Amino acid sequence: MELEAIKQVYFVGIGGIGMSAIARYFHKRGCQVSGYDKTRTLLTMALEEEGMLVSYTDEPSSLAGQFLSPAAATLIVYTPAIPKDSKLLNYFRDNGFDLKKRSQVLGIISKGQFCIAVAGTHGKTTTSSIIAHLLKDTGYGCTAFLGGIATNYQSNFLIGDNDVVVVEADEYDRSFLTLHPDIAVITSMDADHLDIYGDAAQLTESFRLFAAQLKEEGTLFVKKGLPIEKGITYSVDLDSTVRAENIRVEGSEFVFDYKGDQQINDIHLLLPGKHNVENATVAIAVALKLGIDKELIKRAVASFTGVKRRFEYIVKEEKHIYIDDYAHHPEELRACFDAVRQLYPGHQLTVIFQPHLFTRTRDFADDFAAVLSTADELLLLDIYPARELPLEGIDSAFLLGKMTLKNSKVLSKDGVLEKIKQDKPALLLTVGAGDIDTLIAPLKDILTNA
């Protein structure tokens, strides 16, 4: 399907962070955009306020007339997270509609444009958001489809007036293999999504296939140490082609020097942690590759305020610090914990964690237990199932049994709120990719009124 032919688009799972970015793109193009999602959220309400029609009923009877029968100008977009027994999804399949996965639609949009694609099992949302911000803030321009809400723009979608598009290349379900980038970044390749890939070797092969899809004259940036044989390497303090050096904390900011073909000293970054310095380093390398002036880049890095739910300060007061983060993989948790410890050494750290997926909890139980046991206090919520059915013997009690931290327990959401109301910890961290974000507002209220 050609982009220009699309006039009406329906999204099955419109409230997903990646899906909503594409919905906003088609809405900006003047297409009629509607969609379904299971739950009304702040994001779906924002889409409604922008003029899109959102239904919360998984029934064909909820469809407007133009989506009741297939037409050449009508596109149906779906996410693999939608259950296979979805009535809407099966209605569209059974009635001859043109259905595309979200990743396929990104391929259609980016075809014929200069595509910058960021892949990785973690780090891709922050890295793609920094790249998009550097291009926007310096005046270079871009259109961007992000996997999080960039706080500078309060959106996961940016519109530009040039032919440059920045996309987050999702490895789930091998989705990123629909892209053929001009510039590609691979941030990480830790084992994940083993329910899809089976083992780490298959995941690694998929990333190699992604790297091979780079356009002939394209540029690949790869984090130093990853098993990709080609590309420009980047790192923090390692012997790589481009790197960050002289990293230090000044106040609540990280400051570093960029070394590569060009050098930029004393770059200020509001995002904490060496992992974010690393993300910023490759974003700078991409911007320099595009020919952007290094002083403009330095200023833009300093003005990047982050991505919602990526080390987001919810409360930052003298008596209480409360940070929320999307981390849901052991390596993400480790990086997040390290950043907290670097900023607040000597403080007692209370962590509330919601495991995401039964299979991920099962596959990485020992790694989860090891990193979670480095907290001073841990409150575990039940596993968020997302698209999965329960697995026998795999629950939060199973994970708790592997912990070496004695000060840990499994609680309901109400139990967590009661515990925080009672203890009022000075340093609190919530982490997880499920619906743990529903606790943010009540936890903020407890601590700000303590």
CATH (domain of 39): 3.40.50.720
| 223 close to 190: Cβ distance less than 8 angstroms | no
**Structural domain for 283, as ranges:** 112-302
Question: H-type helices in 29-174, by residue range?
Answer: 42-49, 87-94, 102-110, 124-137
pLDDT of residue 42: 84
Does the pLDDT value for residue 171 go beyond 80?
Answer: no
Highest mean pLDDT among 286-300, 338-352, 385-399 belongs to 286-300
Nearest one of 290, 239, 300 to 269, comparing CA atoms: 300
- Would you place residue 202 in the very low, low, confident or very high pLDDT band (cuts 50, 70, 90)? confident
| Domain-located, residue 173 | yes
| Domain-located, residue 378 | yes
Q: Kindly report the pTM of this predicted structure.
A: 0.82
Nearest one of 301, 231, 234 to 265, comparing CA atoms: 301
Domain of 318, CATH number, reads: 3.90.190.20
Say yes or no: 224 and 140 in one domain.
Answer: yes
Does the pLDDT value for residue 172 go beyond 80?
Answer: no
Say yes or no: 285 and 207 in one domain.
Answer: yes
Q: What is the pLDDT of residues 17-60, one digit of tens each?
A: 889 999 999 999 999 999 999 888 889 999 999 999 999 999 99
SS3 call for 242: strand
- As a whole number of angstroms, the distance between CA 68 and CA 71 comes to 9
Say yes or no: 154 and 35 in one domain.
Answer: no
Say yes or no: 50 and 194 in one domain.
Answer: no
- Would you place residue 419 in the very low, low, confident or very high pLDDT band (cuts 50, 70, 90)? very high
Higher pLDDT, 103 or 397: 397
| Domain-located, residue 417 | yes
The neighbouring-strand residues paired with 46 are none
Q: How far is residue 5 from each of residues 1, 11, 108, 229, measured CA to CA in Å? A: 7, 17, 11, 40
Q: What average pLDDT does range 91-114 have in this prediction?
A: 91
Last residue of a domain, one of 84, 102, 120: 102
Last residue of a domain, one of 257, 278, 302: 302
Say yes or no: 270 and 165 in one domain.
Answer: yes
Mean residue pLDDT across the chain: 92
Highest mean pLDDT among 166-170, 211-215, 263-267 belongs to 263-267
pLDDT of residue 173: 67
Residues 6+ apart with CB under 8 A from 238: 224, 225
Say yes or no: 293 and 148 in one domain.
Answer: yes
Sheet holding 99-101, edge to edge: 53-55, 32-36, 8-12, 74-78, 99-101
Q: What average pLDDT does range 246-268 have in this prediction?
A: 94
| Domain-located, residue 380 | yes
| Domain-located, residue 240 | yes
Q: What average pLDDT does range 270-281 have in this prediction?
A: 92
Domain of 264, CATH number, reads: 3.40.1190.10
Q: What average pLDDT does range 189-204 have in this prediction?
A: 65
Say yes or no: 332 and 297 in one domain.
Answer: no
- Would you place residue 191 in the very low, low, confident or very high pLDDT band (cuts 50, 70, 90)? low
| Domain-located, residue 107 | no
Say yes or no: 288 and 381 in one domain.
Answer: no
% the chain with pLDDT above 90: 70
Say yes or no: 393 and 433 in one domain.
Answer: yes
Last residue of a domain, one of 302, 324, 356: 302
Does the pLDDT value for residue 192 go beyond 70?
Answer: no
Does the pLDDT value for residue 399 go beyond 80?
Answer: yes
Q: What is the pLDDT of residues 287-303, one digit of tens each?
A: 999 999 999 999 999 99
Q: What average pLDDT does range 396-422 have in this prediction?
A: 96
φ, ψ dihedrals at 56, nearest 5°? -115, 25
Per the structure, how many domains does the chain have? Answer: 3
Q: What average pLDDT does range 128-141 have in this prediction?
A: 98
Say yes or no: 91 and 155 in one domain.
Answer: no
Say yes or no: 75 and 173 in one domain.
Answer: no
Q: What average pLDDT does range 181-193 have in this prediction?
A: 84
| Domain-located, residue 71 | yes
C-alpha count within 13 angstroms, C-beta hemisphere, residue 152: 22
Q: What average pLDDT does range 438-447 have in this prediction?
A: 95
pLDDT of residue 200: 67
| Candidate from 133-137, 171-175, 241-245, 414-418 with smallest mean pLDDT | 171-175
| Domain-located, residue 307 | no
Q: What average pLDDT does range 203-212 have in this prediction?
A: 89
φ, ψ dihedrals at 384, nearest 5°? -85, 120
pLDDT of residue 112: 85
% the chain with pLDDT above 70: 97
Q: How far is residue 252 from each of residues 56, 155, 255, 271, 374, measured CA to CA in Å? A: 42, 25, 10, 9, 23
Say yes or no: 430 and 288 in one domain.
Answer: no
Does the pLDDT value for residue 74 go beyond 90?
Answer: yes
C-alpha count within 13 angstroms, C-beta hemisphere, residue 49: 7
Q: How far is residue 221 from each of residues 25, 27, 35, 191, 209, measured CA to CA in Å? A: 27, 33, 36, 20, 15
